[in-house]
Amino acid sequence: MTKKQYKLSRIIVMILIAFTVSTSLSLNNYIIPILTIFAGIAFMFSIRKKYEKEEGVLADERDYKIAGNAARYTLFIYSIVGVIATMVLMVLGKENNTLLTIGYFASYTVCGLMLLNALLFKILSKRSNEK
């Protein structure tokens, strides 16, 4: 399996999953999307293993470093935008309870994401120190 075939297989699987999930949900069927997602994950895992077995490395350390930097910048930007949106919504929410509720939700998502990031950082740091 070449890298082009691997990427094409992934795209086809994602399209099939998206089509199946959207169609099933529009028909009020909630079991098929769950099964489809798990089947798609299993299929992607199997083609990844097949590709790695035949071709070798799929990603190198540079790719992981770039992904880490992208995740860090994404978290930073989301946090700043979320805090600003929260403040604006809470100020406007004094007159409209719906905006206040959305402001609270935004604040909880920002806090939750930052706490999740801190927790995962601790866990991954411990794992890397153990190796």
Quote the pLDDT of residue 32: 93
Mean pLDDT per 10-residue segment, the chain (131 residues): 86 94 90 94 91 74 85 93 93 91 93 93 86 69
CB 35 within 8 Å of CB 20: no
- How far apart are the two ends of the chain, measured CA to CA in Å? 32
Q: Where are the domains of the chain?
A: 3-55, 61-130
Tokens of 117: 């990031």
**Of 93, 121, 123, the residue nearest 105 (C-alpha):** 93
Give this prediction's pTM: 0.56
